Amino acid sequence: MRAGACNKWVTLERYPETEDESRGTPLNPEGIWAAIEPFPPGSASSDRTITHQVRMRFHPEVTLDTRILYADARINQTRALYVRGVQSVNEAGDEMVLLAEEVQP
């Protein structure tokens, strides 16, 4: 994986356990550089969902219960992506590809 492709600093955490919690449990390490690419329109499961492919260095704590947060300076908001699929590239333990969904308000 080319380091330059990972251009977004993201925070990784477990989903909040209750709706009252605004923040989940941070993974260790909590932050990592990642490449986030949206899939074409119409590839999501609903009209309010955007599906993304996220590539990053392997992180042993990332599971289907992981939420990815990153600050999008273009829209001045923090975006939340929910991991729906996890793949270790070549099973080598150095890179992973995630399928993630973002729910739009």
pLDDT for 18 beyond 80: no
| pLDDT, tens only, 25-38 | 899 999 999 999 99
Residue 24 has what DSSP assignment? -
Residue whose pair of structure tokens reads 């330059």 in the numeric block: 4
- Which residues face 33 on adjacent strands? 9
Say whether pLDDT at 23 is over 80.
Answer: no
Give 55-100 pLDDT, tens digit per residue.
999 999 999 999 999 999 888 999 999 999 999 888 878 899 999 9
Note whether 67 and 52 are within 8 A (CB). Answer: no
Domain of residue 55 covers 3-103
Residue 81 contacts residue 71 (beta carbons within 8 Å): no
Return the closest-CA partner of residue 27 out of 62, 1, 78, 76: 62
Give the largest Cα separation in the chain, rounded.
Answer: 39
List the one residue out of 102, 73, 59, 95 whose CA is nearest residue 8.
73
Predicted pLDDT at 4: 72
**CATH code (residue 27):** 2.40.10.270
Number of domains in the chain: 1
pLDDT of residue 22: 67
